[in-house]
Structure formats: C-alpha cells, structure tokens
Amino acid sequence: MLLDVKNLKTHFPTQTGLVRAVNGIDLQVREGAAVGIVGESGSGKSVLSMTMMGLVPSPPAIISADQVQFEGKDLLKATASEMRQIRGNRLAMIFQDPMTSLNPFLTIGDQLSEPLLIHKNLTSSQAKKRVIELLASVGIPDPVARYRSYPHEFSGGMRQRAMVAMAVACGPALLIADEPTTALDVTIQAQILELMQSIRQNEGTAVILITHDMGVAAGFCDEIYVMYAGRVVERGPTERLFAEPTHPYTKALLSSVPRLDDPPGGRFRTIPGQPPDLTNLPVGCAFSPRCPYVIDTCRKEVPPLTTVPGESVAREKACFVEIRGKEAGQ
Amino acid sequence: MIRFVFGRLISVILTIWFVATLSFFLIRLAPGNPFANELRGATPEVTEAKKREYHLDLPLREQYWIWLRGVVTGDLGPSMKYRGKTVNEIIRQTFPTSIALGSVAMVFAVVLGMMTGVIAALKKNTPIDYGLMAVAVFGISLPSFILATLGIVVLVFWARLFPLAGWETYSNVLLPGLALSLPFAAKISRLTRVGMIEILGEDFIRTAHAKGLSERQIVIKHALRGAMLPVVSYLGPAFALILTGSLVIEKIFFIPGLGTIFVQAATNRDYNVVLGTVVVFSSLLCFFNFVVDLSYTFLDPRVKPVSGR
Ligand SMILES: Nc1ncnc2c1ncn2[C@@H]1O[C@H](COP(=O)(O)OP(=O)(O)O)[C@@H](O)[C@H]1O
Ligand SMILES: [Mg+2]
C-alpha cells in the first residue's frame, strides 16, 4: 500500500469551540491508483490533504492518528526536514486556484525549477532543460519562450498546466489534487483532467482527486471516498458506488447532481437541512438530522465504517440502515 | 518604457520649475533683505550700488528671468553673504557631506527596519513581535532631534563610545546617522512586518511549502520581494524626509553640510543660496522618486509602465 491512513484527526481549537475538521479518517491508496474524495464544501477535504502534506501548523491544530504511512514511513512521526524531503518530491500537491497559487513575482521557469534544484540536485542548466521538457509535456506551446514568462502572462488553464508540471517535476509517487478544476471553465476542466490521467498512465503516479463534483470524480477515479463532517461515510469502486449507493448521504449527493432531464431553469437540487456545525456535532451519526432513513440508533451511536454485505467488490459504509432497494421513509 | 521615462522627465522638470519659482517669489516677498545688517546706517548711494551689483534694483520679473536663465544654464548665481563665492561652489563643498549623512541614515533605516520587520512578522503575536513594535511606535513618534540628544547623552557622555561632534572621522557619522535613521527604521519596520504577514498568508506561499522549500528559502525568495513593495514606495518620501531632517541633525552635531548652510542662509536672507539649495534638493528628490517608480516596475512584473513593451 502506497498510502495507509488510520484514524486521522485534525482539530482546530477556536474561540467558538473545537472545530473537528477531520475526525477519524481511514484512507488507503495503492500505487498508481486514482482515488476520489468527494463531499460538500466544508466536509474537511482540504484539511485532510493539507494534514497529509504536513502543511497544517500544529500547534494550534491538534493532529493525531494511529498511522499515516506513506511509502513505508509514518508521516506524522517524520521530522520537519524529513517532511521537506518528501514534499514536492515523493508526495506532491496541486491546489484549487491557479490564479493565486503561483508566485506573481517569479518567472514560471524559476518556480518550476525549484523542486528539481532542491530534490534532484540538478544544476540550473539541467533544471532549465528539464523544465522546458515538462512545459512541453503538459501541452504549453512554445515552452522555451514560456520559461521566461510570469504567471500573469498565462491564462488560467495554462497556469494549472504549469502547476501540474511543477507538481510532477520530481516524479512523485502520489499526487494530491485539491479541486484542481473548480476554478476553471468546463472545456479547460476536461483538458486538465485528461492531462492528469495521462500522467497517471505514463508515469504510474497515484492520484487523489478531491472534488465536490460527483461527475468529475466519476470520470476520473477507480475508487471513491465520500466524506461528511470530517469522516468517511462510504467508500467503494466508482461504478458500484454510483450504481447503488449504500449511504443515504451518497445517495443524496448523487441525486443532487443536475441532470439533462431536469426542467430547464429549475433550481439545483440540494440536500435538505443544514450542513453540520463542526464545533457541535450531533450525538451519533453526523448526518442523522438530515437523513430521510434515520432510525433511533443513528441518534445514539456513531456508525463505524464496515464492509457492505452481499457485494462482489470491496465496499464499506458507515450506516446502520440498509438502503439498497429502499425509498426514503420506507 | 522610453515613453514612460520621457513623460516622467517632463513632469519632473515642471515640478522643479514650479517649486523654484514659488520659492523665488516667496523669499523676495519675505520681510528683510540680504544687506539689512551689513549696510545698516550706510548712505543710500552705497545701498543702491550694492543692490545693483546683485540686480536687486530691477523689477521683480526681470530679476526672476535673470535668475532662471542662470539656473537653466547651471549657474545658481553669487552668494549675497559670502563674498566672492558662488552658490555652485558652496553647494559643491557642503552637499557631499549632507548626502553622506543622509545615505548612512538611509542604509541604517533600511537594514534595521527590514530586519526587525521580518523578524516581527515571523514571530507574529509573540513577545518578540510586541517588543519590536512597541519600540517602533516609540521611534516613529519621537522626532529625531530628541533621539539625537538622548543619543549624545547616553553614548557620548556616559558610554564614551562616540566622539561628540564634528566631521573628521568615520565614527563621526555613526551617531548622527543613527539618530537620523531611527524614525525611518521604525516606519520601515512596520511596513515590512505588515507586508510580510500579508504575503505569508498568500496561496503561493503554501505552494512553496508544498514543493519542500525551507522556511528560510521561502522568506528570502518567495516572500521578501512582495513584502518589500510598500517599503520601496516609501523610500522616495523617506529620503526627502531624511534630507530635511538632516537640517536639524547637522546643527546639533555641528556638521558642515548643506543643511547648516541652508539654515544660515534662510536666517540672513542669502536669496541665491536658499534658492540654489531648494533647486538642488527638489531635483534630487524628484530624481529619487523617479528611480523608485522605475525600480517598482522591475520588482513587480505585473506593473508595466506603459501598455506594450
Ligand atoms: N485553520 C483552521 N482553523 C479553524 N477551522 C478551520 C481551519 N481550516 C479549516 N477549518 C474548518 O474546517 C472545515 C473543513 O474545511 P475544508 O477542509 O477546507 O473543507 P472542504 O475542503 O471540504 O471544503 C471548515 O469548516 C473550515 O472552516
Ligand atoms: Mg477545499
């Protein structure tokens, strides 16, 4: 297993109480896999990825886990300098907003060279040659000239391509992409996803794709984790999970995806009820106040993540109720 | 780029002309004249002769034209008090001293201010930060002549670290330079701190961390440049204020700079020396602001002086 996370928690003490942003997550990623993490905004996806990168300052944050094993090393036990050698080298990340994620004061070439200079000990001319190859490989036209451009001279899509090139410069084993296409328009979105897919196939890089868009996750990932209120509520292979969700929240997410047969001009379907208050989670299942299948047990105990019975593939869910084949309220 | 430089040059020349002209008429309209003491009790003939020597008998407009023609050709005229000396000579002898003092103060201010600002930003909301910023508030609110006096008392009389005054050795410049620089160091420190804290919260700093850069590399390469922008735009006004401040400091430390000369000339109405100093000062300040603007376009690639290149 490339990445094996057990019971990861990231809590933030704040004036209004302890924010349980990540609240006991298990996550496994095999070499070369494409894993999706989906969930509404505020469900803790970014905090989870930043925690794995070692980019959440602690203190103030309180971080704990049984393990965060990556390539045989526990990241939570790594020293700051060990983490620096892993970040950008074996474990890389790209972020949501390509407009603000690149330094406006430095050239693209300068910024893309950095990981190569610090991790691969290349000379600056070797790095330059490699960066130009990288720019070409992510589909940036005229890479020799673009090497000297500044980020503001790039379009949003080109910047995200540059971000991808920068993240994969050192040939990481795992690339975490946190909503990499959310800020881009639809055609560019598809191009960036295609680019990441081809990198995955050619380089064997595993990818964690974080998104709140079920459609994007469906097109990209082999396996999907659904997050709610800092916990995984369901995980399984993409096709089965889409075909027959086993958690009411997954089902609600899927039915909130706009469809072609929706009446034109109609409002987006949304999940009824309030997103949870992370400082004051309900007793029992965090989704229970919004859940149409709720039973008494749900309001007393937190459902553990358990294997879904009667499946030919490995699936897990954190729910006491069997919802397959059932309509809400039955 | 060329159009930008050219446009700025024209506005610089207009500014200098405007300041010089305004000063010319203001000082002539002020009560008193250069020879009020010298010629007390002299016969009207002697007074007239003296005035004629310096064209003071002509109508104001003609005096102005004569003077302006001189300025344009680089001749600031004769001193009306120092017999046989031209303003050009006086400035040439004393201005390097003031520039040296101002530059020392400027370097102190930038180095001290940026260093403490960066430290305060990195130690945000710790006792180190609070301590540095308390000192900075103190430094900004105290005029430099008070700092100078305090400095003299402590460092010269108590600790005997510095010679008192004069302008013979290198150590002569340190104390006045420091006294002159402190309020500016304090201001630069605060600007650096604010700029640095803002930049360190930017998304691209997170990207830099994600690459595996160390804190030091991030501060120096990714943060400092952006954090410096507000400091750089302050350097122009700061240099102006430092030169003005040196008028007072020069007097306290008996430094024979242009500041001392200017104060004397203003009190005894040595018109040409006053105006010459004004012209030189304002040219220098305009030039300095111009350099700052230009450097801004180099520091921030998003700022382009004119459309296209
Ligand atoms: N530094 C922090 N301090 C306190 N709360 C935080 C901090 N960072 C994130 N949070 C909270 O954690 C929750 C999860 O945030 P995030 O991971 O960004 O959600 P997502 O990426 O799924 O949209 C949010 O409620 C957010 O307000
Ligand atoms: Mg997020």
Ligand closest to A227 (CA) is: 1
ipTM score assigned to the predicted complex? 0.88
Residues A174-199, mean pLDDT to the nearest whole number: 87
Q: What is the mean pLDDT of chain B?
A: 82
Instruction: Report the nearest atom of ligand 1 relative to the CA of A210.
Output: 21
In a domain? residue B85: no
pLDDT at A74 > cutoff 80: yes
Q: CB count, 10 Å around CB of A53?
A: 22
Ligand closest to A47 (CA) is: 1
Give me the DSSP letters along B30-63. SS--TTTTTTTT--HHHHHHHHHHTTTTS-HHHH
Give the 3-state secondary structure of residue A226. Answer: strand
Cβ separation A53–B301 shorter than 8 A: no
**Which of these, A131, A88, A124, A93, lies nearest to A109 by C-alpha position?**
A131
pLDDT tens-digit series, residues B227-247:
888 888 888 778 878 887 787
Assess contact for A242 and A71: CB atoms under 8 A.
Answer: no
Assess contact for A119 and A89: CB atoms under 8 A.
Answer: yes
Identify the bridge partners of residue A68 per DSSP, sorted by sequence position.
A5
Determine the Cα–Cα distance for residues A226 and A308; give it in Å rounded to an integer.
15
Q: CB count, 10 Å around CB of A74?
A: 13
Beta strands A91-94 and A62-64 are: unpaired
Structure token digits, residue A145: 């000239």
Instruction: Report the nearest atom of ligand 1 relative to the CA of A41.
Output: 23
Give me the DSSP letters along A182-216. TTS-HHHHHHHHHHHHHHHHHH--EEEEEES-HHH
Assess contact for A174 and A205: CB atoms under 8 A.
Answer: yes
Cβ separation B210–A87 shorter than 8 A: yes
Give the 3-state secondary structure of residue B86. Answer: strand
Ligand closest to A178 (CA) is: 2
Instruction: Report the nearest atom of ligand 1 relative to the CA of A278.
Output: 25
Assess contact for A151 and A104: CB atoms under 8 A.
Answer: yes
Assess contact for A104 and A150: CB atoms under 8 A.
Answer: yes
Give me the DSSP letters along A43-95. SSHHHHHHHHHT-S-TTTSEEE-SEEEETTEEGGGS-HHHHHHHBTTTEEEE-
Q: What is the pLDDT of residue B170?
A: 59
pLDDT tens-digit series, residues A292-319:
888 888 898 999 998 888 878 889 999 8
Q: Which among A85, A97, A102 has the least Cβ separation from residue B212?
A: A85
Q: Which among B203, B222, B302 has the least Cβ separation from residue A95?
A: B203
* Strand order, beta sheet including A206-211: A91-94, A174-178, A206-211, A34-38, A223-228, A231-237, A316-317, A306-307
* Residue from A10, A18, A37, A47 whose mutation best tests the ligand 1 pocket (most atoms within 8 A of CB): A47
Residues of B with CB under 8 A from a CB of A: 202-204, 206-214, 217, 221-222, 225-226, 299-302
Residue of A nearest to B199 (CA): A103
| CATH number (domain holding residue B134) | 1.10.3720.10
Assess contact for A166 and A111: CB atoms under 8 A.
Answer: yes
pLDDT tens-digit series, residues A193-234:
888 899 999 989 999 999 988 888 988 999 999 999 999 999
Q: CB count, 10 Å around CB of B42?
A: 13
Q: Whose CA is nearest to atom 1 of ligand 1?
A: A12
In a domain? residue B203: yes
Residues B151-160, mean pLDDT to the nearest whole number: 66
Q: A235 versus B303: which is more confidently predicted?
A: A235
pLDDT tens-digit series, residues A30-55:
999 999 999 988 899 999 999 999 99
* Residue from A46, A249, A277, A279 whose mutation best tests the ligand 1 pocket (most atoms within 8 A of CB): A46
pLDDT at B309 > cutoff 70: no
In a domain? residue B105: yes
Å between B187 CA and nearest CA of chain A: 24
- Which amino acid appears at position B9 of this protein? L
Ligand closest to A14 (CA) is: 1
Within chain A, residue ranges assigned H as helices are 45-53, 80-86, 108-119, 124-137, 143-146, 156-168, 186-203, 214-220, 238-243, 248-256
Q: At what angle do helices B87-122 and B224-252 cross, to 10 degrees?
A: 130
Structure token digits, residue B230: 């507000």
Q: What is the mean pLDDT of chain A?
A: 88
pLDDT tens-digit series, residues B83-110:
788 888 888 888 888 888 888 899 999 9
- Which amino acid appears at position B247 of this protein? L
Cβ separation A152–B302 shorter than 8 A: yes
Residues B181-192, mean pLDDT to the nearest whole number: 89
In a domain? residue B278: no
Structure token digits, residue A99: 């407009």
Give the 3-state secondary structure of residue B286. Answer: helix
**Which of these, B144, B140, B113, lies nearest to B259 by C-alpha position?**
B144
Range of the domain at B146: 93-269
Q: What is the pLDDT of residue B307?
A: 39
Cβ separation B204–A89 shorter than 8 A: no
In a domain? residue B151: yes
Residues of chain A contacting residue B222, judged by C-beta atoms under 8 Å apart? 103, 105-106
Residues of chain B contacting residue A55, judged by C-beta atoms under 8 Å apart? 206, 209-210
Kindly give the distance from the C-alpha atom of residue A271 to the centroid of ligand 2, in angstroms, as a whole number: 19
- Which amino acid appears at position A148 of this protein? R
**Which of these, B210, B235, B229, lies nearest to B285 by C-alpha position?**
B235
* Residue from A10, A19, A212 whose mutation best tests the ligand 1 pocket (most atoms within 8 A of CB): A19
Check residue B153 and report its DSSP letter: I
Cβ separation B204–A53 shorter than 8 A: no
The number of distinct structural domains making up chain B is: 1
Cβ separation A106–B222 shorter than 8 A: yes
- Which amino acid appears at position A127 of this protein? A
pTM recorded for the entire structure: 0.78
Give the number of beta-carbon pairs within 8 Å between A and B: 71
Sign (positive or negative) of CA dihedral A132, A138, A141, A145: negative
Assess contact for A160 and A180: CB atoms under 8 A.
Answer: yes
Question: A89 in ligand 1 pocket by Cβ < 6 Å?
Answer: no
Which of A84, A105, A150 is most worth mutating to test chain B (most B CB atoms within 10 A of its CB)?
A: A105
Assess contact for B240 and B98: CB atoms under 8 A.
Answer: no
Q: What is the pLDDT of residue B168?
A: 59
Residues of chain A contacting residue B206, judged by C-beta atoms under 8 Å apart? 55, 95, 101
Determine the Cα–Cα distance for residues A80 and A58; give it in Å rounded to an integer.
12
Determine the Cα–Cα distance for residues B23 and B279; give it in Å rounded to an integer.
9
